Amino acid sequence: MSLGTLFSLEGRSALVTGGGTGIGRGIAHGLARAGASVIVVGRSAAVDQTRDEIETAGGSAVAIRADLSDRAALAGLTRDREIDVLVNCAGMIRRGPFLDVSDDDWHEVIAVNLDAPRRLSRLVGAGMLARRRGKIINIASLLSFQGGREVAGYTVSKHALVGLTRALANEWAGGGVQVNAIAPGYIATDNTAPLRADADRDAEILSRIPSGRWGTPDDLVGAAVFLASPASDYVTGHTLVVDGGWMSR
Ligand SMILES: NC(=O)c1ccc[n+]([C@@H]2O[C@H](COP(=O)([O-])OP(=O)(O)OC[C@H]3O[C@@H](n4cnc5c(N)ncnc54)[C@H](OP(=O)(O)O)[C@@H]3O)[C@@H](O)[C@H]2O)c1
C-alpha cells in the first residue's frame, strides 16, 4: 500500500459531531481533505457554514442540525446511512463548584459528552461490524486523566469516555472495528475562551505547556486522519494525547 493510500479516506463516509466549530470543524475539514464525504452535526447554523467551506474547497459534505441530548434525534442521524468513521467530538462544559452543580446541569453534560457517543457507537457499530470495517474516534481530554478545577461533570464524562473507548475496542477488535480516542491539550476554541479571557489563568496554563503556545484545531488533524485511515488498522483502545507536551511535564 502506498503512503498516500495508507492515509486516504477516499470512498469513506465520516460523521463528525460538533463539526460546526472548533476542534470538530478542524477535524471535519481534515477528513474531507483526506477524501471522506463528511456529515457535520451540531445544533446551530455553524454546521451549514462548515459544509459550505468543505464544498468550496472541493470536498463533499452534508450538514445536519440536531441536539445530541435528544435521544430521539440520534437515531435519525444514522438511519439509512453507512458510516465508516464516527468522530464523537461534540461536548460541553459547566464550570462551577461541585456543591452548586444542579442535577439537570450534571445530567446534560453526561448526556452530550458520554451518552451521545455511547448511543451513536451503538447505532453505527452494528453496520461497521457487519461490513468488518469501521473507525470510532472519541474526543477525550486531559481531564480524562486529571481532575480539573470545578468542572466535575466534565471530568467524569471524559474519564468515562476513555473507559468506553477501551471497552468497545476490546469487544470489536476481532470484528475489524477500531475504537480510539484523542485527548487534546489546551486548544484555543469557544470551549476555552473563559480561560484565555482570565489573564492569570491564561499565563498559568501557558507556563505549563512545553510547546509554549495554545493548540489550534489544525493541530488535531493529523491525529484524526491517522485514526480514521487504514494507517491505524492495528491501533485500537488507544488515547492519543495531542497537548504540546503538557502531560509529560
Ligand atoms: N478546546 C479544548 O482545549 C479542548 C480540550 C480537550 C477536549 N476538548 C473537547 O473537544 C470537543 C470540541 O470542543 P471545542 O473546544 O472545539 O469547543 P466548541 O467549539 O465549543 O465545540 C463544541 C461543539 O459541540 C457542539 N455541541 C455542544 N452541545 C451539543 C448538543 N447538545 N448537540 C449537538 N452538538 C452540541 C457545539 O455545536 P452547537 O453549539 O452548534 O450545537 C460545538 O460545535 C469537546 O468534546 C471538548 O470537550 C476541547
Task: State mean pLDDT over 61-90.
Answer: 95
**pLDDT of the residue at 110:** 98
Residue 92 near ligand 1, beta carbon < 6 Å: yes
Sign of CA dihedral 37, 115, 18, 146: negative
**pLDDT of the residue at 234:** 98
Q: How far is the CA of 5 from the centre of ligand 1 (A)?
A: 30
Of the candidates 41, 62, 39, the one whose C-alpha atom is nearest the C-alpha of residue 52 is 62
Query: Which atom of ligand 1 is found nearest the CA of 69?
Result: 31
Domains of the chain by start residue, with CATH: 3-241 (3.40.50.720)
**pLDDT of the residue at 225:** 98
Mean pLDDT of all residues in the chain? 97
Percent of the chain with pLDDT over 70: 100
Q: How far is the CA of 89 from the centre of ligand 1 (A)?
A: 6
**pLDDT of the residue at 192:** 93
Residue 94 near ligand 1, beta carbon < 6 Å: no
Q: Which residue has a Cα nearest atom 44 of ligand 1?
A: 91
Sheet holding 177-184, edge to edge: 60-65, 37-42, 13-17, 85-88, 134-139, 177-184, 239-242
Percent of the chain with pLDDT over 90: 96
Q: How far is the CA of 112 from the centre of ligand 1 (A)?
A: 9
User: What is the spatial distance between Cα 150 and Cα 160, in angstroms, rounded to a whole number?
Assistant: 17
Tens digit of each residue's pLDDT (9 = 90 or more) over 150-175: 999 999 999 999 999 999 999 999 99
**pLDDT of the residue at 194:** 93
Confidence check: pLDDT of 24 > 90: yes
**85-88/13-17 β-pairing:** parallel
Helix (H, G, I), strand (E, B), or coil: what is residue 37?
A: strand
**pLDDT of the residue at 198:** 95
| Residue 1 banded pLDDT, cuts 50, 70, 90 | confident
Sign of CA dihedral 105, 107, 108, 112: positive
DSSP for 139-190 reads: E--GGGTS--SS-HHHHHHHHHHHHHHHHHHHHHGGGTEEEEEEEE-SB-SG
**pLDDT of the residue at 95:** 94
For residues 93-130, one letter each, b for 16 or more C-beta atoms within 10 angstroms of the residue's C-beta and e for the rest, the string is: bbeeeeeebeeeebeebbbbbbbbbbbbbebbbebbbe
| Residue 71 banded pLDDT, cuts 50, 70, 90 | confident
Confidence check: pLDDT of 29 > 90: yes
- Please identify every residue annotated as catalytic: 154
